[in-house]
Structure 1
Amino acid sequence: MTNTTKPTSDAPKPTFDSYEEFWPYYVAMHSRAATRWVHLTGTLTGLAITAYGLARGRKRYALALPLIGYGTAWPAHWFIERNNPATFGHPWWSLRGDRQMISMMLAGRDRELGEIAAKWLAENR
Structure 2
Amino acid sequence: MKTITTYADFWPYYLREHAQPSTRAWHYVGTAAALIVLIAVIVTGNWVFLPLAFVSGYFFAWMSHGLIEKNKPATFTYPLWSLYSDFKMLFCFLTGRMNGELAKAGVSSAHRAE
TM-score band (shorter)? Answer: 0.7 to 0.9
Q: Report the CA distance between 1:64 and its aligned residue.
A: 2.0
Query: In the alignment, is residue 118 of structure 1 matched against residue 107 of structure 2?
Result: yes
Q: 2:34 touches 2:52 (CA, 8 Å); kept in 1?
A: yes
**3-state SS, counterpart of residue 118 of structure 1:** coil
Q: 1:31 touches 1:117 (CA, 8 Å); kept in 2?
A: no
Q: 1:50 touches 1:63 (CA, 8 Å); kept in 2?
A: no
Q: 2:15 touches 2:107 (CA, 8 Å); kept in 1?
A: no
Map 1:1-125; keep pairs closer than 5 Å: 13-115=1-103, 116-118=105-107
Matched to 2:107, the amino acid is A
Which structure 2 residue ranges, 5 or more long, are not aligned?
Answer: 109-114
Q: How many residues in Structure 1 have an aligned counterpart in Structure 2?
A: 107
Change (3 A) 1:14 1:99: farther
Which structure 1 residue ranges, 5 or more long, are not aligned?
Answer: 1-12, 120-125
Which 4+ residue blocks in structure 1 deviate beyond 3 angstroms?
none
Bigger drift between 47-56 and 20-29 goes to 47-56
- Across the aligned residues of Structure 1 and Structure 2, the Cα RMSD in angstroms comes to 1.6
Larger radius of gyration: 1
Q: Report the CA distance between 1:117 and its aligned residue.
A: 4.5
Change (3 A) 1:94 1:117: farther
Report % sequence identity. 34
* Whole-angstrom distance in 2 between the partners of 1:64 and 1:113: 30
Per the normalisation by structure 1, the TM-score is 0.77
Matched to 2:79, the amino acid is P
Matched to 1:72, the amino acid is F
Change (3 A) 1:62 1:117: farther
